[in-house]
Structure 1
Amino acid sequence: MKKILFSIMASLLVLGGCSQSEEEKPAKNDEVPQIIEAVIQVPETINPGEEATLAVTVRQGDEAVTDADEVKFEIWQEGQKENGDMAEAKHDSEGKYTADHIFAEEGLYYVQSHVTARSQHTMPMVSVQVGEAKAEDSGTGHEQENEGHEEGHSHSHGGEVSIELQASDQIHANKQTALSVKVDNEGEPLAEAKVKLEIALNGATPQWVNMSETEPGKYTADHQFTEPGTYTITTHVEKGDDIHEHTETELTVQ
């Protein structure tokens, strides 16, 4: 009788252990996370030599992002990006991050926020007028900074939507790399879509990079690869309820 009881108890312990292991095993989540949205706010009037408050509001869907890993502003005068300044931003309230900056002289400036939050990175940009200068399309500055990085790797997605990822032929770790994506729908540029890159190395947790539209159907972003290797980049394209496409590309980083 004791032997029978011992066998039953041992079986229950084994079953309990298996059940616990099944419960503790994390469920695989293949869903694409909601995109991080960042909107820059700058004063309508900025005078040279005066301190101006820059702000960016960060949201993920309907939720204010109050736990961003890093938020900073890059500010430069037109044609002088290499001499630009960086200003660290601090969280104010309800997903709004602010920083103060003094624009030394009159001219056309570009303000680009670098937001890293919840494994995503986004870099919206606006142009600002200081003094009597006239602001132009903010996409111009971004186009200038990405000049010369349109050659290299590409991948097309079959069907009505075509996705082509472009990058420099030689990419080096720990250096900013300009990436661009051209998206066509039925042979025409697909404008006003949400485009983001899922970047992973050797199956590690991916980084998410949100792209900005610089011209109809063309989306750009900068990214810094942290180490050499062959990265898998999944380009996700969404627009409304009808378009949700993705394609994979491999990039070698030296």
Structure 2
Amino acid sequence: MKKILFSIMAGFLVLSGCSQSEEEKPAKNDEVPQIIEAVIQVPETLNPGEEAQLAVTVRQGDEAVTDADEVKFEIWKEGQKENSEMAEAKHDSEGKYTADHTFAEEGLYYVQSHVTARSQHTMPMVSVQVGEVKAEDTEHGHEQEKNGHEEGNSHSHGGEVSIELQAPDQPHLNEQTALSVILEKEGEPLKEAKVKLEISLNGATPQWVNMSENETGKYTADHQFKEAGTYIITTHVEKGDDIHEHTETELTVQ
């Protein structure tokens, strides 16, 4: 009889412990994740036919990101982005990913790293001068990267910060869609901010896209929508300890 009572009491204790454990589970963390930051390291000048190491260091806060889902470099010559080449990068050490590439001809080249890690995507870009480059070849800078589609846009004021998300009126599935954000504070462009997009569809796990400042106060990124529907795009803006703003926009993808 004592054994039976002991078994019953033990069962109650186990159930009680499970119930308490369930109640003590921490609430879901809805905080915005720390931004994934990627810094490209490539030579500024090269000779034609010279092989160079392309490197990008990926961090999240103070932590080196060693488990990126995908890291690759896109390389193209000025005015020839449609003929770009891709180079897969491998993790070296402490969040540094590398790949080798040979620049065959002289000219101005662009190197853009595509980093996908921890549900975020970021695409920093730099230029490389190969051989002798004429002044007129460089004076346009990144002009071709700034001509993104701006047919549709959403504008919002978050506190003192004006946030304007620009996107095509009719983005299509499985196509690179140019997105841009214009930031102003007190009528002046807001530069050197951290800007990221939280893109979600029907309550699914959101995708995070980090944006790069290609001109003062204008932040850009490309994104490929995999499903049709109306997406909620939350634009998050941070700068220092004073600016933490966000605004939501709907975008329908066909």
Q: Work out whether the TM-score is over 0.5.
A: yes
Instruction: Name structure 1 gaps, 5 residues minimum.
Output: none
Q: Following TM superposition, by how much is the alpha carbon of 1:16 offset from its aligned partner in structure 2, in angstroms?
A: 3.2
2:154 is paired with a residue of what secondary structure? Answer: coil
Once residues 217 and 139 of structure 1 are traced to their aligned partners in structure 2, the CA distance between those partners, rounded to angstroms, is 15
User: What is residue 38 of structure 1 aligned with on the other side?
Assistant: 38
Where do residues 95-244 of structure 1 align in structure 2 (5 Å cutoff)?
Answer: 95-133=95-133, 135=138, 138-144=141-147, 146=148, 149-244=149-244
Once residues 37 and 234 of structure 2 are traced to their aligned partners in structure 1, the CA distance between those partners, rounded to angstroms, is 19
Paired AA for residue 242 in structure 2: D
Once residues 155 and 37 of structure 1 are traced to their aligned partners in structure 2, the CA distance between those partners, rounded to angstroms, is 26
Q: Deviations over 1:108-136 (max 9, x none)?
A: 11100000011110000011100111555
Instruction: Name structure 2 gaps, 5 residues minimum.
Output: none
1:204–1:22: structure 2 CA closer, same or farther, 3 Å change rule? same
1:205 is paired with a residue of what secondary structure? Answer: coil
2:104 is paired with a residue of what secondary structure? Answer: coil
Q: Following TM superposition, by how much is the alpha carbon of 1:81 offset from its aligned partner in structure 2, in angstroms?
A: 0.3
Once residues 65 and 137 of structure 1 are traced to their aligned partners in structure 2, the CA distance between those partners, rounded to angstroms, is 34
Percentage of identical aligned residues: 80
2:121 is paired with a residue of what secondary structure? Answer: strand
Q: Following TM superposition, by how much is the alpha carbon of 1:155 offset from its aligned partner in structure 2, in angstroms?
A: 3.2
- TM-score, length-normalised on structure 2? 0.91
Once residues 140 and 118 of structure 2 are traced to their aligned partners in structure 1, the CA distance between those partners, rounded to angstroms, is 30
2:44–2:127 CA contact under 8 A, matched in 1 = no
* Cα RMSD after superposing both structures: 2.2
2:20 is paired with a residue of what secondary structure? Answer: helix
Once residues 191 and 20 of structure 2 are traced to their aligned partners in structure 1, the CA distance between those partners, rounded to angstroms, is 50
User: What is residue 20 of structure 1 aligned with on the other side?
Assistant: 21
1:21 is paired with a residue of what secondary structure? Answer: helix
Once residues 17 and 36 of structure 2 are traced to their aligned partners in structure 1, the CA distance between those partners, rounded to angstroms, is 41
1:110–1:141 CA contact under 8 A, matched in 2 = no
Q: Following TM superposition, by how much is the alpha carbon of 1:159 offset from its aligned partner in structure 2, in angstroms?
A: 3.0
- TM-score, length-normalised on structure 1? 0.91
1:125–1:138 CA contact under 8 A, matched in 2 = no
Once residues 143 and 42 of structure 2 are traced to their aligned partners in structure 1, the CA distance between those partners, rounded to angstroms, is 18
Paired AA for residue 52 in structure 1: A
Once residues 126 and 144 of structure 2 are traced to their aligned partners in structure 1, the CA distance between those partners, rounded to angstroms, is 9
1:161–1:183 CA contact under 8 A, matched in 2 = yes
Once residues 193 and 32 of structure 1 are traced to their aligned partners in structure 2, the CA distance between those partners, rounded to angstroms, is 16
1:226 is paired with a residue of what secondary structure? Answer: coil
